[in-house]
Amino acid sequence: MKLILLGLGNPGNKYLHTRHNVGHWFVDYFANLNSSKFEKKADFLVSHFIYSQVNIFLLKSTLFMNQNGVGLLNFLKSMNPACDKFLVVHDEINLPQGRVKLSSGKSDGGHNGVKNVINEIGYSPIRMRIGIDSVNSSFVSRSDFVLDNFTSSEKENHISLFPKLVHGLHLLCDRGLSIATNYINRYPIPCPS
């Protein structure tokens, strides 16, 4: 089996700690957990490791958010054999912090990175949508909100979710999408047993 995860985000230190980069954070965390480094391949940084006989590829685009899908179709076609599961991990302004939704076949929901991915590959993939809350001030635009840095408490809350999300991906590999969805979509997500 082959699983590919694309973490959405913007490249460079300027955007490293922003809400929009939670997809990058997660794939970095997952790679570090498996002592796997990222290497440059075409338009992506790619990390690869094996979990329970599943080849897992983690991707981060080297382009900006609105172009995160550029080159993706070619990358997916280059996989031989083809990947069994393709999943996009990204921030979700329409979910409160602490909520995560695993879903497939949904619209882009106004997320420009997701929109670009769908346009590039021609379908809506499985998505892990990590809630970042919504703009709670009329003085802050949506784009300024997602490009602002997390507060330290927001950052800690997200990092505490990551082991649970990794467990959810292990469930996806071992037991399938339905079981993984039932686990990840709970609130609060239970600690792995």
Catalytic positions, written as ranges = 20
What gap in Å lies between CA 183 and CA 128, rounded to an integer? Answer: 12
Asked whether 124 and 104 are in contact (CB, 8 A), the reply is: yes
Exposed/middle/buried for 94, CB within 10 Å: 0-12, 13-18, 19+?
middle
CA proximity to 117, closest of 58, 76, 169: 76
Closest CA to 25 of 144, 132, 183: 132
Rg of the chain in Å (alpha carbons): 16
DSSP state of 184: H
d(CA 9, CA 158): 15
**109 touches 92 (CB < 8 A):** yes
Beta 126-131 vs 100-103: how paired, if at all?
antiparallel
